[in-house]
Chains A and B, each alone.
Chain A
Amino acid sequence: MDVLRLQNLQKSFGSVCALKNASLTLREGEVVALLGDNGAGKSTLIKAISGVFPVDRGDIFVRGEKVSIRSTRDAMDLGIETIHQDTSLAPDLSIARNLFLGREPVNFGWLGVFAPLDLAKLRKAASEVLKRVGISKKLDADALVSTLSGGERQSIAISRAMQFAAKVIILDEPTNNLGVEETHGVLRFVKEVRDAGHSVLLITHNIHHVFQVADRIIVMRRGEIVAEQIVADTDLLTVESIITGADMSALLKEARAK
């Protein structure tokens, strides 16, 4: 089942064509890695899917249905949750308040933005999320996010996406600025997310991480999707050569001969 299908997406900024004819599909319960050098169009692609800006041309299908995504709210309502590298959480808010930011449980909902938060429900739901995702260190739902480590913050952001039963979770450089152990924690968590039935689109620079968690690899170069590889059928050097676009066949032959 295709959860997300992009067809011929195009986007230009002035005279710069950031995205030309990008098409890809994401199936249920798989991790797809999106690779490419700086300026390859990865960020533009995920920003278009997460509703930061609209595309110029092309169609987006969610579970086979054509949709239009004009705002981050639209994307979230369609079950697409994006976790940006450092910008997903508000450090001065508690874990519980962050988990429900923008979707706060309230009493007297008719009061609109003046409605009181349902603090008991907020705290209870937050502890359940923390328990379910089994973050190794016991975290207090009332703790401020500013007191957490980078890995803990990523895990909180990812579990927030799971909490809202997102069909598609987009992870933008989730292991940036993390230590070795924390990186492994986050990657393990990505696998758990997939096993729970969510589809993950993983954007990263680190090819080693891709080989640890991804099922498929999609490579972008200059705004285009240039290759698609099944992780089980490929290797690091092949993928690297596709990314850079350099002719590494000689190098490859040499490597394989060894």
Chain B
Amino acid sequence: MPVGKRRSSLIRSPQFSSLVILIVLLAVFAIVDRNFLSPLNISNMMAFLPELGIIALGMTLLLTAGEFDLSVGAVFGLAPVVVMLLVQNGGWDIGIALLAGLVLCIAIGAINGLIVTKIGISSFLVTLSMLLVVRGAALYITQGFPLKSWDQPGFFVTLLAGSLNIGSFRFYTSLWWFIGLSLFAIYILRYAKLGNWISAIGSNRNAAVARGVPADTVKIWLFIATSVLAGLAGMISAFRISAASPVAGTGYELEVIAMVVVGGTALTGGRGTILGTIVGALMLRAIRNGIVLIGVPGLAYNIFVGLIILAMLILHALLQKNAARS
């Protein structure tokens, strides 16, 4: 492909237009409120970013394969609650309790995946039911009360929620998790054999199956990966704030899906972009943070978040139409 053509297709790509909008948004916030780009504010944004961003990576792969998962927010809440109960009430070692949490997330993902692929119920309905089951379980086992989280420093706390000061910036280890997992996800989707399969399954499942691609197995593992990432994000969050709440992560499923589609991944499958998702995660984080800083009343800010997401989606749709015409 000639360089010029490649460049123009890059400019027309959805992740590129999202990036442009992100830069514009950042510039607007920075101009209106100088504190937006202050080390403290950037550190704050970078602390929150990975928690939803990590889930969004799994969700991107899942959406590319043509499925989605509404139970991620509930898993985000349940995993730390179970781990903490095992430690505090069961007297388990923190390492073994974390392992039990991991197994729980794998089980939730596997159940989602098996029901969707083997019984053939849409992932919307299956994971919506799972959301209720998982959230209900978290509320029941805690009787609705938040648990004090693990606040003794140690290997696992450092691993998941340690922090590091560079100048006046404070970085949490979760950021490195997010960067590492992002690179891995980019590699999977763009360069690995598995990525080819994921896109093919979401684009035309029958064609993939006819070529011998194990579509069901791939989907089940993607459900598992998404659940595990949601549980990991939940643990990171619980360690960071030293509390595990049974209602943590409420509404995260929709916010994560918004990040993914704002980045340019198709809700209908086949077209996924991790870079776009990273841009989408940054954008939603910056919007949530920025509109508070520039003085939009707190109760009104969902209006703005919703409008900006809608504007992004309209833009993607128009670009797509344009590309199809040319």
Binding site for B on A (CB under 8 A): 50, 71-73, 76, 82, 84, 87-93, 97-98, 101-104, 106, 111, 113-117, 119, 140, 142
Contact = CB atoms under 8 A, between A and B. Distances in A.
A104 B196 contact: yes
Contact of B211 (A102, A114, A115): A102
B212 A73 contact: yes
A139 to B, nearest CB: 12
B212 A72 contact: yes
A88 B207 CA distance: 5
Contact of B1 (A71, A114, A142): A142
Interface in B171-199: 187-188, 191-194, 196-197, 199
Nearest to A109: B193
Contacts of A87: 204, 206-207, 210
B264 interface: no
B191 A76 contact: no
Given A89-B207, A93-B199, A116 B212 contact: no
B213 interface: yes
B271 interface: yes
B192 A97 contact: no
Contacts of B211: 72, 76, 101-103
B194 A101 contact: no
Contacts of A104: 193, 196
B196 A84 contact: no
Contacts of A93: 196, 199-200, 203
Given A87-B206, A90-B204, A93-B200, A102 B212 contact: yes
Nearest to B217: A113
Contacts of A97: 196, 199-200
Contacts of B200: 90, 93, 97-98, 101
A89 B209 CA distance: 11
B194 A84 contact: no
Contacts of A103: 211-212
Given A87-B210, A104-B196, A117 B191 contact: yes
B26 to A, nearest CB: 31
Given A101-B200, A106-B193, A142-B1, A92 B271 contact: yes
